[in-house]
Amino acid sequence: MLLGALSEDALPSVHTLIVGGDVAAPGALARWARSRRVFNAYGPSESTVCVTIEPCTITTVNPPLGRPLGGILIYLLDPWGNPVPPGIPGEIHLGGVGLARGYHRRPALTAESFVPDHLSGIPGARLYRTGDIGRHLPDGRIVYVNRIRGHAKLRGNRINLNGVEQLLRAYPTVRETLAMISVVEERQTLVAYVLTESEFEPTELRAYMAEHVAAFEVPGIIVPLPAWPLTPAGKIDRKALPDPSDSCQQAPHHKSELTPAEAVLLPIWSQLLGRVDLDVHDDYFALGGDSITALHIASRAREQGLGVEPRMVLQQRTIYSLATSAPLLSLGEQEPEHAEVALAPIQHWYFEQELPAIAHWNLSVCLKLQSALEPELLQRALDTLVEIHPALRLRFERAERGWRQSYWSAKPVPLKVLSTGPVEAAAIEAGLHASFDLSEGPLLCAVYRPHGVVGGPELQLIAHHLVVDTWSLRVLVDDFASAYTSLRDRAEIKLLREVESYRRWTERLTSLAADFVPELAYWRAVLATVSEPERLPRKGLVGERRMLVAELDADTSAFLVGEAHQAYRSRGQELLLSALAMAWQHWCGNAQLVVDMETHGREGLPGSEMDLSRSVGWFTALFPVRIEATDDWPKLIDVVKRSLRDIPNGGLGYGVLRYLHAATELRELVAPAISFNYLGRVEAPAVPALGMQLSERETGPTQAKEQPLPHTLGITLLIFAGRLRLSLVYADPAADAAMQELLDHYFAALHALAEHCRGAERGGYQSSDFSGVHLNEAELNALLGDLTEDDE
């Protein structure tokens, strides 16, 4: 696969190429043999590294496996262990030097795969049964034919079905078992039929399996049988086995079999990832998960008493693993009424802009409601938000040494109830956006319209950006709905306090500033020789802002943020940034792309387990990313993955070193003119009690017209209503045509990337998949020889 992704003209200094790890496409090695020596190598992990080798020429179409290397014994045996004649297929058995001792803590599988060697005459000698079928050519070389039964592939993962069956048989109540891949509800699933001595609990059996094998090797469906259906010849009649779709033992769909933690997590994952066919062993990234959705999952789980943190979702990657590792929830400490709060790096960045209307930069959310709200209860619910989230009590003042922020006593949240027409209401909304006073507060207000623009009631929340980010708005919407519903139903308001407050987070950041100093060299290199292409528009004001928008179709969108990640083991926004880098070089002819990347900044701090999933404040991390683009998709994806995964501490250190540390050199470097922000899934809040839906209408001027745009070009992506939406924001009308061209290039690149990831010749390990090390291609190929589970 890796060879197929490279051009034969690549690597001109490489004179000898040894290829292994998979079956080469017909003629692929011949193309490479035109200008260098090429060898086809074969060797499974159990007999490291290679056991046969075959020189290839320009006439080679389907290369043989070749002859054994020195010290290697190879036999082709029939099912009874007898050697087969030349030309007759037999299972490849390996012996001699380099043979592994066995499988760690899996004695049954070791006994089946490593058998005594009765042919060599060497006492104690063993053979490894590869599961491959081969045949001898007349000259003694070996040709690969296919695999024997017992090996299968599920969602890109290779599974030894025999090994699964052996492990199942080791379970106390299981006598016999048969494992297979079946299509259940249009989805490939690992199914295990079992004969049991007594009743058993499928959940416990799956838990037992999960302790010994990878998540994808745990059966999704377990079907108990009293006896096997047999053919007249006495063999298992596979056609007569029960349809697994009719089994009550399917892991994902039957709540009675789920653990309490799984029962909490399964509907949360299903709703946030938009999947109804979830299995507790499904991989999070393959389902389209990202770090932003992980915040949603953590927040929802904590509301139900499960102590899930975003990093746990990203690390555990399955509902099963997450459920077994999530503790019960612990509450945070009560915040003081009055206290000074250190500025976060992003707040320093904000004040550094020297904005002419510094109190007018807001975030806003407008919600359509199914039924009217009672103004008195609405006011009480809004005031509850200030009680629960102390960042909403922040006030700001400009002192001699710069801006400062501190907690002050809570004030009622300003609420406007509007029954006026749309023109008058728009003017009032605009006035509210410009009404904040940083020194007096509060910095949150609300507008309620019993008869909204489209006829139904609407609620709009407006908050200054200094005290909230986009994630905070989601937390506030959920908490408001919960508080209002409790008040309406005359029930006790049960809102959880923040586990970690904004104040404790900024204090922790400040105290760790010196720990980030080793990152200075990294950030200097990223910002070295940043240059703007001539085609970029001029920088302008908010009042001059222009926006271009495009949307991908739902199928391509779902694929790019989900299944496409399996092709190159990518995650999050790596593919989206790869497509931008491809579009960028086609648009401006410059392979170098340097952007200011925005992330939610809530990943956690070095050496700290701070849970910020329910915290309100401005946590955004803003840091530069440099990409050196190429026209080759596999290479480009590898570059982007490496660029993002090499970023230390999720980019937090850049802002800390720039604003919280005595070193000033980062402040003197030129910052990127382009911003890149992937917001993830922006869907309607799940609040059935109030029937909330996100409104897309304009909610008033969130920024003053005279404010300068922070970047010359802003690129934002999000998933809304199942579609990937791209937007470009700029201020220069003379650049309309150029910006449309860039958007078209980006749109085309996303489609091309999706098609590439769907293709047959794709995937495989890349150097970026090995964290903490940097491998060249030769080193990677050598490593893959050790890692591969198959031995073609």
Summarised one tens digit per residue, pLDDT across range 55-86 is 888 776 678 888 888 889 999 998 888 999 98
Distances (CA, A) of 327 to 291, 323, 362, 612: 20, 9, 36, 16
Residues above pLDDT 90, as percent of the chain: 39
Cis peptide bond upstream of 49, omega within 30: yes
Q: Which residues are paired to 19 by β-bridges?
A: 40
Q: Are 595 and 622 within 8 A, CB to CB?
A: no
Q: Which residues are paired to 598 by β-bridges?
A: 622, 677
Beta strands in 369-496 (DSSP E): 394-399, 402-407, 415-417, 444-449, 458-464
* Residue found under tokens 């990347």: 597
pLDDT at res. 348: 96
Which architecture characterizes domain 258-325 according to CATH?
A: Orthogonal Bundle (1.10)
Residues above pLDDT 70, as percent of the chain: 86
Spatial CA neighbour of 433 closest among 423, 424, 444, 422: 444
Summarised one tens digit per residue, pLDDT across range 500-550 is 899 999 999 999 899 999 999 999 999 987 777 888 999 999 999 999 999
> Rounded to a whole number, what is the distance in angstroms from the first to the last CA of the chain?
12
Question: So where are the chain's domains?
Answer: 3-147+781-787, 151-256, 258-325, 339-504, 518-691+705-758
pLDDT at res. 790: 41
Q: Model's pTM, two decimal places? A: 0.63
Summarised one tens digit per residue, pLDDT across range 553-596 is 998 998 999 888 888 888 889 999 999 999 999 999 888 999 99
Mean pLDDT, rounded, for 397-425: 89
* 3-147+781-787 classified as CATH 3.40.50.300: no
Spatial CA neighbour of 474 closest among 459, 461, 491: 461
> pLDDT tier at 683 (50, 70, 90 boundaries)?
low
d(CA 590, CA 641): 20
Domain 518-691+705-758: give its CATH superfamily: Nonribosomal peptide synthetase, condensation domain (3.30.559.30)
pLDDT at res. 249: 45
241 burial (CB, 10 Å; 0-12 / 13-18 / 19+) is: middle
d(CA 377, CA 640): 50
Fold match flag (339-504 vs 518-691+705-758): yes
Lowest mean pLDDT among 25-39, 258-272, 484-498: 25-39
Spatial CA neighbour of 541 closest among 352, 355, 737: 355
pLDDT greater than 80 at residue 769: no
Domain 339-504: give its CATH superfamily: Chloramphenicol acetyltransferase-like domain (3.30.559.10)
Domain 151-256: give its CATH superfamily: ANL, C-terminal domain (3.30.300.30)
Q: Are 271 and 319 within 8 A, CB to CB?
A: no
Taking the CA atoms of residue 445, residue 450, residue 452 and residue 456 in that order, the dihedral angle to the nearest 10 degrees is 130
Both tokens assigned to 294: 């992980």
Q: How many residues does the chain have?
A: 792
Both tokens assigned to 144: 């690969």
How large is the angle between the packed helices 291-303 and 260-273, nearest 10 degrees?
140
Q: Are 419 and 450 within 8 A, CB to CB?
A: yes
Summarised one tens digit per residue, pLDDT across range 234-288 is 778 888 898 887 654 444 444 446 788 888 899 889 888 877 778 887 778 767 7
Q: Are 171 and 94 within 8 A, CB to CB?
A: no
d(CA 435, CA 40): 72
pLDDT at res. 494: 76
